[in-house]
Amino acid sequence: MKMTIVLDTDDLDGLKDASKIATMLLDKHGARDPFYSRQASFGKIALIKLMRSFAKDAYNFMEEGGDPGDLSTLRFTKKFVDARWDELSRAVLTTS
């Protein structure tokens, strides 16, 4: 959620109300669950590029003599995502 608050420095009551609103939003949305992770969001083209990158990693893994059964494991996929997660979540922060 995004909100714009216009502050009038001549309106002390309005400043107090804006402070209350900001505090309320911070209390509601600022504290995160310890298991919370930044969210990543991207469009169709970015998803296609990510999938292409995953396929290249899988191909390289197989070329290096990796076990084909490892490609379908959660560990293989998690390793791929973890290596790119900061980049994906930064893209969200810069586009939000």
Radius of gyration in angstroms for the set of CA atoms belonging to the chain, rounded to a whole number: 22
Q: Give pLDDT tens digits for 28-70.
A: 777 665 545 566 667 788 888 889 999 999 999 999 998 989 9
* Whole-angstrom distance, CA of residue 5 vs CA of residue 26: 14
- pLDDT category at 89 given cuts 50, 70, 90 is low
Burial of 59 (0-12, 13-18, 19+ CB in 10 A): exposed
DSSP-assigned letter for residue 11: -
Q: How many CB atoms lie within 10 A of CB 89?
A: 15
